[in-house]
Amino acid sequence: MHNILTIARKELSIYFTTVVGYSGFGAYTFILGLIFISTLNRFQQTTTYYLSQQQPALLERLNFNDQIIFPTYSTGIWMFLFFVPFLTMRLFAEEKQARTFELLMTAPVTSLQMVLGKFLGVAFMMLVMAIIPLTFPTILHIYGTSAAPGSAVEWAPVWSSSVSVLLLGLTFCAVGLLISALSESQIIAALLTFAALLLAFVLPMIAGRLDGDWRSVVEYLSPLAHVNRGLQGRVLLADLVYFGTAIGAFLYLTLRVVESHRWR
């Protein structure tokens, strides 16, 4: 465990002693903020329109979760398509590029500790990226008003959204870690990770063109189908099993790739 934490701290120190961590968090927060402001303005415009048309029934249907929080989270996960390759491309590829990977393989560290340490480092970054969006429902909770007593924000879907976004991010990081272990160039690792994640985002579109069992299979393989239920406030055991299995499978494949270097 000590070796795993040491490797994780090393990875985090690289993120936070260079522009990688700060620029990534800054850009992610800035873009999420723009999405939040856009959905908030649309909510205000819709509210004003319903008031002008004197439609109280439609006004009662408006709520912060459906009109602001859900669109912010569902649009925000698309940014993983760009930020995850940015975070994971250097994990192993940089070691190979700098010719320090062979030195790392001779250190008193097992392949499993190496893989888990690097994954833990990038997982912490993903945890921060999952926490950042909580700023926006907190703002709505403090300054928003509701016709019903209590908070203007329904927090259960917010927590389920945060958990789902984190699990999606960890799955994508496991994919990026595997591709970085297979690559010797950070640029190639980033491009291949982007392509792999893009495929994950288009799977629902492919499923929509299929019928029968094939449609069910492709929908199950799509991570967006699982995360969308969390964004709607429903975290099912099947979704947790899916993400846990996917993360474990990609980490296992990464471990096999790293171990194969010991025999070269």
What is the rounded average pLDDT of the residues 239-246? 93
Quick: pLDDT tens for 20-58.
Answer: 778 888 888 899 999 999 988 888 887 777 777 776 666
pTM: 0.89
Burial grade of 76 (CB within 10 A; 0-12, 13-18, 19 or more):
buried
For 127-178, the pLDDT digits (tens) are: 999 999 999 989 888 887 665 566 778 888 889 999 999 999 999 999 999 9
Q: Rounded to an integer, what distance in angstroms lies between the CA atom of residue 76 and that of residue 80?
A: 8
DSSP state of 133: G
Q: What does the DSSP assignment read for 87-144? A: HHTTTTHHHHHTT-HHHHHTSS--HHHHHHHHHHHHHHHHHHHHHGGGHHHHHHHHH-
